Amino acid sequence: MKNLRNGVQSLNHKGELSFNRMTRKEISNKFNQEVKPDQQHAQILIEVDSGINTLDKARKIIEGLGIHIIETKRRSSKLILLKLDIKDMREVVLKLTESGFFNIEGYNASSFEI
């Protein structure tokens, strides 16, 4: 991965170069600002697009694990916050990553100090 002036250049799942306008640090900071504490539910902030990594694809993956999405909030054209009916999000994040989603921030219900 090579940091550029306006973003990050990296290889996508096909081995082709891709260009993102936000750096990974900027994306992470944006994710952290978007998530509010919840002691009962794990939350995932995920970047989706209109191509391969769609919201419908993410929903099917999550529901395929037997997990229910109890709330969906669109934070921008690409950032979606999903509140899940579980407390531990690790399995969901692993499955989404294996399926090609890479800009994901997951928060367990116990991750927050309230």
Quickly state the pLDDT bin for 80 (edges 50, 70, 90): very high
- What pLDDT, in 10s, does the model give residues 40-72? 999 999 999 888 889 999 999 999 999 999 999
Instruction: Output the pLDDT for position 4.
Output: 36
4-13: per-residue pLDDT in tens?
A: 333 333 445 5
DSSP H helices in the chain:
24-34, 55-64, 90-98
CA distances from 54 to 27, 42, 50 (A): 18, 20, 6
The arrangement of secondary structure in 24-111, i.e. its CATH architecture, is 2-Layer Sandwich (3.30)
Tokens describing residue 63? 């529901």
